[in-house]
Amino acid sequence: MRKQIAAANWKMNLTYQLGEKLLNDILEAEIAISDNQQVIFAVPFPYLIMAKSTVAHEKGYDIAAQNCSDKKNGAYTGEVSVEMLQSVGIKYIIIGHSERREYFFETNKTLADKVNICLENDITPIFCCGEALSVREKNGQNDYVQKQLEESLFHLDQDKIINVVIAYEPIWAIGTGKTASTQQAQEMHQYLRSVLANKYGHEIADQISILYGGSVKANNASELFSCPDVDGGLVGGASLVAQDFIQIIKALK
Ligand code: PEP
């Protein structure tokens, strides 16, 4: 059975102290996390070790980095390598968030390199894809997102793709308060699963978690997560408020 995942993306928000308090407030809620569920906090680099030790003994909780270098190591001042992240116990990295694609010009090719380095280091990439509003208005979203998968993931063998988590995040819904309808979310997730099935077969496609991201809130999470092909969410704004994220975790199937 594929994992149902609630992933918080703090982006460049919160101080160390506020981040630590937020984690503790959420853990104090003592939410029962079942074996097929996973809660992940993608926190800023300087908070990774604190966050990792805060959730260390909590079943079903783990920490992600929000990005990594596409280079393995060397003279790249300011970059953080996958190997460094692995050496502090990180198991998940968000790859290709639309903000990185837009503001830092990350291409499908660069993201393929990052995915490869993650998998070489036993780290699960949370691979983000999704179309801009202009693409959806022309009904081009399926082809657009398929191309993102083809160019960044489809060089992987079956035994590698199985270790990738996909997050479908329509750009027009991120941080805008506009959520995809449950029908729009389910249609795209089902489409992505069919694209995965065409390439890797149904058995593999059925094991890959596909998260929805884009203005997931406490009051819409249950409806979105109830879609058969939506396996949880990647959550920005609402993950910064303990009570909201607690509700979102509780909404997991
Ligand atoms: C995100 O950062 O990936 C995201 C989906 O943000 P928000 O939930 O704020 O739309």
ipTM of predicted complex: 0.96
Measure 214 CA to ligand 1 centroid, in angstroms: 5
Distance CA 1, CA 145 (A): 25
Of residues 115, 165, 168, the one with CA closest to residue 141: 168
Count of domains for the chain: 1
Q: Return the residue whose CA atom lies nearest to atom 1 of ligand 1.
A: 236
pLDDT at residue 164 tops 90? yes
- Among 126, 174, 219, residue to substitute to test ligand 1 (most atoms within 8 Å of Cβ): 174
User: What's phi and psi for 214, nearest 5 deg?
Assistant: 140, 90
Q: Return the residue whose CA atom lies nearest to atom 6 of ligand 1.
A: 236
Q: Return the residue whose CA atom lies nearest to atom 8 of ligand 1.
A: 236
Q: Which atom of ligand 1 is nearest to the CA of 94?
A: 3
Residue 117's SS3 state is helix
pLDDT at 214: 94
Q: Which residues are annotated as a binding site for substrate?
A: 9-11, 175, 215, 236-237
Distance CA 225, CA 5 (A): 10
Measure 40 CA to ligand 1 centroid, in angstroms: 14
Q: Kind of pairing, strands 124-129 and 4-9?
A: unpaired
pLDDT at 120: 97
Name the residue range of residue 14's domain: 4-250
The pLDDT confidence band at residue 9, using thresholds 50, 70 and 90, is very high
Per DSSP, the residues of 17-49 read HHHHHHHHHHHHT-----TTEEEEEE--GGGHH
Strands (E), 17-164: 37-42, 61-65, 92-95, 124-129
Distance CA 124, CA 121 (A): 9
pLDDT at 176: 83
Distance CA 244, CA 5 (A): 16
pLDDT at 207: 97
Q: Which residues line ligand 1 (CB under 6 A)?
A: 9, 11, 169, 174-175, 213-216, 234-238
Percent of the chain with pLDDT over 70: 100
CATH number at residue 138: 3.20.20.70
Distance CA 15, CA 79 (A): 21
The pLDDT confidence band at residue 180, using thresholds 50, 70 and 90, is confident
Token pair in block for residue 185: 């979310």
The pLDDT confidence band at residue 177, using thresholds 50, 70 and 90, is confident
